[in-house]
């Protein structure tokens, strides 16, 4: 994944950037399976490598395919990013080491969910039970966010492209 990100930074052809983005999403999905997050991996593969790539390609069809070269060398952003990275690495020294069961993130709420989800909601998949029942309000908010994004895209792209001829576009009801 690190190599893919470096490739995206260096590539100038936008089509290559989009394809590398899809490769990156697939690699991320594989890593997520290794980390035992199977639901998340399925969603990331479908959404990141599927829908995102399709939408980016559709937009690429409408705009140019190459990126213009940078007009100034990006020294200040590079310094800012390196400083941020350094501060973050300094912060991760105190985080619990990888794979240990005793860290504080696994102590309080998670064991309750693991033990009680089956007999309170009759579903072996703990993630679905938590998502739909214990934290159902958050999922309602998420569905509203998707709804709002869909409405937003339809409003933005509903106006006709050229105002010259009065064609009747059956483009779906907005306006």
Partner 1 sequence: MRDTIILRVVVKLLLPAILIFALYVQFHGDYGPGGGFQAGVAAAAAIILYGMIFGIPAAKQVVPPSVVFVMIPLGVLIYAGTGVAGLLLGDNFLDYSPLGSKPVYGQHLGILIVEFGVLVTVSSTMLAIFYAFGGRADEADAAEEARKDGEGGS
Partner 2 sequence: MSTILADLNYWVTVFLLVGGLYIVVAHGNMIKKLVGLSIFQTSVYLLFISPGKILGGTAPILDDKYTLYSNPLPHVLILTAIVVGVATIALGLALVVRIHESYGTIEDDDLTDLESDT
Part of the chain binding partner 1 (CB under 8 A), chosen from 8-16, 77-85, 97-105, 145-153: 145-153
DSSP structure class, residue 72:
S
Q: 51's torsion region: left (phi>0), alpha (psi -120 to 50) or beta?
A: alpha
- Under rule CB under 8 A, which residues in 18-37 are in contact with partner 1? none
Indicate whether 137 belongs to the interface with partner 2 (CB under 8 A).
no
**Contact characters 90-129, partner 1, x per CB under 8 A:** -----------------------------xxxxxxx-xxx
Q: Would you say 131 and 139 are in contact if contact means Cβ atoms under 8 Å apart?
A: yes
Pick 1 or 175: Cβ nearer partner 2: 1
Indicate whether 5 belongs to the interface with partner 2 (CB under 8 A).
yes
Part of the chain binding partner 1 (CB under 8 A), chosen from 5-13, 92-100, 106-114, 159-167: 159-167
Nearest-angstrom CA–CA distance, 47 and 30? 14
Indicate whether 55 belongs to the interface with partner 2 (CB under 8 A).
yes
Partner in contact with 79, chosen from partner 2, partner 1, none, beta carbon below 5 to 8 Å by kind: none
Pick 75 or 168: Cβ nearer partner 2: 75
Nearest-angstrom CA–CA distance, 24 and 30? 10
Indicate whether 145 belongs to the interface with partner 2 (CB under 8 A).
yes
Nearest-angstrom CA–CA distance, 62 and 56? 10
Phi, psi of 35 (to 5 degrees): -85, 15
Indicate whether 61 belongs to the interface with partner 1 (CB under 8 A).
yes
Sign of the torsion formed by the C-alpha atoms of 12, 14, 16 and 19: positive
């Amino acid at each position: 994944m690190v190599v893919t990100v470096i490739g995206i930074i260096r590539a100038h052809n936008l089509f290559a950037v989009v394809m590398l983005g899809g490769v990156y999403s697939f690699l991320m999905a594989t890593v997520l399976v290794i980390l035992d997050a199977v639901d998340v991996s399925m969603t990331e593969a479908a959404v990141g490598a599927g829908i995102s790539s399709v939408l980016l390609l559709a937009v690429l069809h409408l705009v140019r395919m190459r990126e213009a070269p940078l007009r100034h060398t990006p020294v200040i952003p590079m310094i800012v990013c390196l400083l941020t990275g350094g501060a973050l690495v300094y912060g991760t020294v105190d985080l619990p080491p990888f794979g240990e069961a005793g860290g504080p993130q696994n102590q309080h709420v998670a064991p309750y969910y693991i033990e009680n989800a089956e007999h309170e909601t009759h579903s072996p998949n703990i993630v679905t039970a938590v998502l739909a029942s214990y934290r159902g309000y958050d999922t309602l908010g998420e569905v509203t966010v998707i709804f709002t994004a869909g409405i937003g895209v339809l409003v933005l792209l509903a106006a006709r492209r050229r105002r010259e001829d009065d064609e009747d576009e059956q483009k779906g009801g907005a306006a």
